[in-house]
């Protein structure tokens, strides 16, 4: 059952990839997409809580949800996508994904419950992180942008906020394990308020058709994914879950891009795939 749910979580992350590609090709604005994601997810989380009978007023889920909402709206929707405009795509995406280090370290040093990761698990973590790093060197035509001090300053802040976002999810599963919809309601509600304020300040409040379609679809996936993630983190340590759910979809996307979209992998891309697959095997046989 657990492996089925894990595969479902990875599958949901992969499912939104074509939508993201479509949004990028049609110049979708991240801020507007994030606004629609947050609005959709807030409404669906409210419905989910009402149907399941879950209380929306769990103090822990509201607190960690609010922290994630700020980190997601500012860190991902604004800073990470700004870094994609002013710097190279590969290293930007890689550092955003390496936010997984935060919940991994938290789970090992503060929430281990007296158990330590085995040598195979540690090897899997290292190989997965190495795979994510190598992916950033699989350059495409969009990566011909030089590094700059401005990009570096912003991406470090984006990486920190990515880590805070993932850590908030992880901590919510410990302190409010029965309240996934409350957490999602708080997270995306706060995110909506932040992005709505930014949109009003910029006088840019009208999402177009592409942004609405992508935002609504992604918001739907995010709400479905939240109780799934809570379930997984109850049964599998975070130092396994986060590397798996962050690396697996990207590995599939790299291989699909190579074989389906004819986006050829260079030697770093192939090494990333090899190390990532071996890392996932180590997790599986542990």
pLDDT digits 0-9 by tens, 217-236:
999 999 999 999 999 998 88
* Res 286: pLDDT: 60
Domain boundaries, position 195: 2-125+142-238
Cβ pair 279, 243 in contact under 8 A:
yes
* Res 141: pLDDT: 45
Torsion sign, CA atoms 19, 20, 21, 23: positive
In a domain, 195, yes or no: yes
Tens of pLDDT, residue by residue over 116-144, are 899 999 999 999 999 999 988 876 544 55
Cβ pair 139, 276 in contact under 8 A:
no
Q: How many domains does the chain have?
A: 1
What's 1's DSSP letter? -
In a domain, 251, yes or no: no
In a domain, 132, yes or no: no
Distances (CA, A) of 112 to 102, 120, 132: 14, 16, 24
Give the residue among 25, 23, 257 at the shortest CA–CA distance from 135.
Answer: 257
* Res 139: pLDDT: 64
State yes or no: pLDDT of 59 exceeds 50. Answer: yes
Cβ pair 50, 217 in contact under 8 A:
no
Using CB atoms within 10 Å of the CB of residue 120, give its burial: 0 to 12 exposed, 13 to 18 middle, 19+ buried. Answer: middle
User: What average pLDDT does this structure show over 261-281?
Assistant: 87
Cβ pair 278, 130 in contact under 8 A:
no
- Of 20-24, 164-168, 199-203, 244-248, the poorest mean pLDDT is in 20-24
In a domain, 281, yes or no: no
Q: Cα(206)–Cα(195) distance, rounded to whole angstroms?
A: 12
Which range in 17-21, 82-86, 203-207, 233-237 is most confidently predicted, on average pLDDT? Answer: 233-237
In a domain, 7, yes or no: yes
Tokens of 274: 């090899």
Q: Which residue has the tokens 């999602």?
A: 184
Give the residue among 74, 40, 62, 38 at the shortest CA–CA distance from 192.
Answer: 38
In a domain, 134, yes or no: no
Tokens of 256: 């699909």
Q: Cα(211)–Cα(30) distance, rounded to whole angstroms?
A: 8
Distances (CA, A) of 251 to 209, 247, 257: 30, 6, 10
- Of 18-22, 32-36, 111-115, 149-153, the poorest mean pLDDT is in 18-22
């Amino acid at each position: 059952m657990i492996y089925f749910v894990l595969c479902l979580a990875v599958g949901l992350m992969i499912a939104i990839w074509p939508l993201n590609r479509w949004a990028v090709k049609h110049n979708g604005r991240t801020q507007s997409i994030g606004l629609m994601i947050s609005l959709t997810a807030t409404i669906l989380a409210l419905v989910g809580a009402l149907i399941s009978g879950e209380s929306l007023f769990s103090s822990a889920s509201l607190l960690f949800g609010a922290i994630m909402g700020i980190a997601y709206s500012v860190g991902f929707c604004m800073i990470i996508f700004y870094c994609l405009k002013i710097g190279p795509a590969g290293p930007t995406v890689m550092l955003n994904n390496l936010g997984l280090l935060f919940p991994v370290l938290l789970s090992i040093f503060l929430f281990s419950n007296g158990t330590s990761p085995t040598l195979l698990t540690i090897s899997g973590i290292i190989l997965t992180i190495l795979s994510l790093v190598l992916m950033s060197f699989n350059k495409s035509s969009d990566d011909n942008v030089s590094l700059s001090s401005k990009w570096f300053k912003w991406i470090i802040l984006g990486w920190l906020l990515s880590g805070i976002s993932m850590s908030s999810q992880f901590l919510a599963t410990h302190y409010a394990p029965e309240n996934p919809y409350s957490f999602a309601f708080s997270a995306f509600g706060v995110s909506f308020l932040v992005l709505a304020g930014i949109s009003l300040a910029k006088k840019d409040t009208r999402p177009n058709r592409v942004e609405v379609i992508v935002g609504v679809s992604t918001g739907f996936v995010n709400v479905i994914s939240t109780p799934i993630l809570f379930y997984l983190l109850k049964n599998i340590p975070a130092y396994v879950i986060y590397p798996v759910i962050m690396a697996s979809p990207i590995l599939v996307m790299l291989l699909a891009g190579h074989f389906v979209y004819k986006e050829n992998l260079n030697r770093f891309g192939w090494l990333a795939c090899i190390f990532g697959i071996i890392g996932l095997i180590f997790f599986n046989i542990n």
